[in-house]
Amino acid sequence: MPDEDTEKDKIAELSRFCKEIVIILQTVNKNEYQAVLTFMRPPSDSFAKAVIFPEPNMVVGKFANKKVALIRTKPGPEVRKFIEDAIKEYPNARYVLVVGVCYAFDSNKFKLADVLVSDTIIDNMIVKYNGQGEIGDRGQTVHVVHDLTKIFCMDEDTDCPASAGRSSTMYSGTFCCNNVLMNDKVMRDKYLRAHPGAIGGEMEGGELLKFVLDNKLEGVIIIKGVADYADGTKAKDWQFTAAMAAASYTESRLINVPADKLCLGKYSGYYALLCVPLQCTLWIYMYIVIFHTIIRHI
């Protein structure tokens, strides 16, 4: 009976923990998942490690001293179902951090295991081709302007914490996101010509961007290590090292962020912008009513 009661107490504690989660860390493949899991800590002293809860592809715990959920999804557009399920389990989640591996456009500028962070996300799920076979944009382009940008996008290229025995540099810029596993230099260069200056690409950011906008969450940001150049030589050799670099950088930037910086307080985002003025208005109205009541009785 005591063991049964202890188990019930732990489940109740995890349920409360889930309601306080504001950040979802999204990964796809095993390397990404394991890299992020390396930096996860138990939800509390009641647990020995981060806990799979409440579904097999969901892990709750602390990452950079923040209460988070780590989820492993399928790639491309199928990610939406997983994030929808996650939001049901973690109803107060406001931010999605897409952590893992990507391809870089410029092999001369970006080395393997460098970390690329999105300050702009282009949804290339739907594209058009002109008469010369070049790609034109038909999706959404969103400049990532929210708390996450201030935390993860530095003003200049920045050295990252050494990870897996390799130093990395962080670059921020435009990410091209589509549902194609890119490994063709000709096609890759068409995307680059359509979006000059883009730094990298991946498969989940576009769908997650649409989900965040549709559900009025605070924001989504892509933080990924360079694992290849989508030039026909794609391999898994660098995936874990690149994923570790991304996870390490994410933790290093997030760990010094105060809880209220990520709207972990009473109100968050646009709701806070509404509630604070509304509270002030109600207080002013109350004082006016009290003042008029006193005047009438004098």
* Per-residue model confidence as pLDDT tens for the chain (298 residues): 457 778 899 999 999 999 999 999 999 999 999 999 999 999 999 999 999 999 999 999 999 999 999 999 999 989 999 999 999 999 999 999 999 999 999 999 999 999 999 999 998 876 666 656 676 665 566 666 567 888 898 766 677 775 656 678 999 999 999 888 999 999 999 989 989 999 999 999 999 988 988 998 888 999 999 999 999 999 899 999 999 999 999 999 999 888 766 754 333 333 333 333 434 444 455 656 565 566 666 6
Question: What was the pLDDT predicted at 50?
Answer: 95
- The single residue listed with the structure tokens 């990520």 is 262
| The two three-digit tokens of residue 29, written as one number | 């493949």
Largest CA distance in the chain: 87
Question: What was the pLDDT predicted at 180?
Answer: 84
Helix (H) or strand (E) holding 51: strand 51-52
Burial class (CB in 10 A: 0-12, 13-18, 19+), 287: exposed
Question: What was the pLDDT predicted at 276?
Answer: 38
**Which candidate, 241, 176, 222, 215, places its Cα nearest to that of 32?**
241
pTM of the model: 0.83
∠ CA 154-155-161, rounded to 5°: 35
In this structure, what DSSP letter does residue 283 have?
A: H
β-partners of residue 26 are 71, 98
Question: What was the pLDDT predicted at 78?
Answer: 93
∠ CA 145-149-154, rounded to 5°: 135
Query: Strands 200-202, 169-177: parallel, antiparallel or unpaired by DSSP?
Result: parallel
CA distances from 115 to 122, 160, 171, 250 (A): 18, 8, 6, 10
Inter-residue contact 70 to 39 (CB < 8 Å):
no
Inter-residue contact 93 to 219 (CB < 8 Å):
no
